[in-house]
């Protein structure tokens, strides 16, 4: 027995209230789709939830619905840069003779009424609180008013968080880092023999295998030659401004320093004796890693930028590190990987859980201890 139109519309509102306010799903605009609602949450087990009001009267129509879902999901996967995407479809008007079949990525639920949800294995396993959360003390117009107000408040809160996350911020730390690098570059010419002189570089703290761990930090702010300085400060300005906008001032400084130090530790382990190295390249690649980590975690909003801008830039820079002679590829790779790692440790505002941060802290500490041991005590 199918739901009446009035009961079906009310159940749809209850489902929207549950998934939006309780499970942090957001509506998806899917062009060409009628009488169904799509919701997404890239952090949930079911990244897509469909509420279908269309009447499905036979298996052929259901097959077409499955085909349509697969096509739409492929588009969303490309947009959000997602490899696997589980879909849950709630059918509110399904002929009793039509049989539903689940697969690993597409789960289907027949909704006859609210009580039928208690017997469904998928709902019991993935959304055990759904039946109780669909019950309200309000009735009639008061119920509709409460549902609408709750959804509106949730959407406004979400909008405020997104605006806060993506709003421009003054690149204070980025400008300070560029100033330090510039001052040291000038000093190497004013009180030394220039930024290409090995003795001057060594005196100012360039990286060499001499057991001095302070050079892991000081060498980040030195550059060999004007071109090297100009390229890195330009990259630092572009990337630093973005990282500072996404993570804030303090986290940007920590990402920069940690990535630079880890890149230098890897360099000490792998580079030859007598080689001198300097530059913010490892730290800058750490900023790239931080942007990539942010974009992956916010791919609902940055999916296109991730695919068209961020990944191509990273791939090109990594390739140049292997192809262009004289580039410290070890610092690049170490900085990039550690940039992603320290970003998971510091976390993304409104996003990263305490458990993820603790895991990141443990991994970050283990990485530092391991590399210090290999670089200075082996």
Residues with catalytic roles? 281, 332
Q: How far apart are CA 307 and CA 79, in angstroms?
A: 8
Only one residue has tokens 């097959």, namely 63
Q: Determine contact, residues 259/283, Cβ cutoff 8 Å.
A: yes
Q: How far is CA 137 from CA 133, 134, 146, in A?
A: 11, 10, 10
- 3-state SS class at 88: strand
Q: How far apart are CA 327 and CA 320, in angstroms?
A: 9
Alpha helices in the chain (DSSP H): 5-17, 59-80, 121-126, 130-133, 140-166, 172-190, 198-204, 215-218, 226-247, 249-270, 281-297, 299-305, 311-323, 329-346, 354-376
Contacts of 154 (CB under 8 A, 6+ apart): 20, 21
Sheet containing 87-91, strands listed edge to edge, beginning at the edge strand earlier in sequence: 26-28, 36-40, 48-52, 87-91, 106-110
Q: How far apart are CA 8 and CA 77, in angstroms?
A: 30
Q: How far apart are CA 81 and CA 266, in angstroms?
A: 30
- 3-state SS class at 87: strand
91 sits in which H/E element: strand 87-91
- 3-state SS class at 97: coil
Q: How far apart are CA 253 and CA 91, in angstroms?
A: 50
- 3-state SS class at 273: coil
Q: Determine contact, residues 65/104, Cβ cutoff 8 Å.
A: no
For residue 305, give both structure tokens: 């930028």
Task: State the distance between the two ends of the chain, measured CA to CA, in whole angstroms.
Answer: 75
């Amino acid at each position: 027995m199918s739901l009446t139109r009035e009961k079906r519309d009310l159940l749809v509102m209850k489902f929207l209230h549950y998934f939006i306010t309780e499970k942090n799903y957001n509506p998806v605009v899917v062009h060409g789709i009628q009488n169904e609602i799509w919701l997404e949450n890239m952090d949930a087990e079911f990244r897509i939830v469909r509420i279908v009001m269309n009447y499905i009267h036979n298996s052929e129509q259901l097959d077409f619905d499955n085909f349509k879902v697969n096509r739409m999901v492929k588009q969303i996967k490309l947009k959000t840069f997602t490899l696997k995407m589980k879909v849950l479809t709630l059918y509110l008007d399904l002929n009793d003779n039509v049989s539903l079949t689940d697969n690993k990525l597409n789960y289907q639920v027949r909704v006859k009424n609210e009580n039928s949800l208690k017997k469904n294995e998928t709902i019991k396993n993935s959304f055990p609180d759904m039946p109780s959360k669909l019950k309200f003390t309000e009735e009639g117009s008061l119920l509709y008013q409460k549902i609408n107000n709750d959804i509106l408040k949730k959407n406004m809160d979400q909008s405020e968080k997104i605006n806060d996350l993506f709003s421009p911020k003054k690149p204070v730390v980025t400008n300070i880092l560029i100033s330090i690098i510039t001052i040291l570059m000038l000093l190497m010419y004013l009180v030394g023999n220039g930024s290409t002189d090995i003795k001057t570089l060594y005196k100012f703290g360039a990286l060499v295998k001499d057991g001095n761990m302070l050079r892991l930090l000081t060498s980040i702010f030195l550059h060999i030659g004007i071109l090297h300085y100009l390229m890195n400060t330009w990259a630092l300005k572009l990337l630093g401004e973005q990282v500072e906008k996404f993570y804030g001032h303090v986290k940007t400084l920590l990402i920069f320093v940690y990535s630079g130090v880890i890149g230098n530790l890897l360099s000490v382990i792998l580079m030859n004796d007598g080689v001198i190295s300097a530059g913010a390249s490892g730290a800058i690649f750490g900023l790239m890693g931080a942007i990539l980590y942010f974009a992956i975690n916010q791919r609902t909003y940055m999916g296109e930028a991730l695919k068209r801008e961020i990944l191509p830039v990273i791939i090109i820079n990594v390739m140049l590190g292997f192809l262009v002679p004289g580039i410290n590829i070890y610092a690049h790779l170490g900085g990039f990987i550690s940039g992603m790692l320290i970003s998971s440790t510091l976390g993304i505002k409104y996003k990263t859980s305490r458990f993820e941060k603790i895991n990141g802290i443990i991994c970050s500490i283990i990485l530092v201890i391991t590399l210090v041991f290999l670089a200075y005590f082996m």
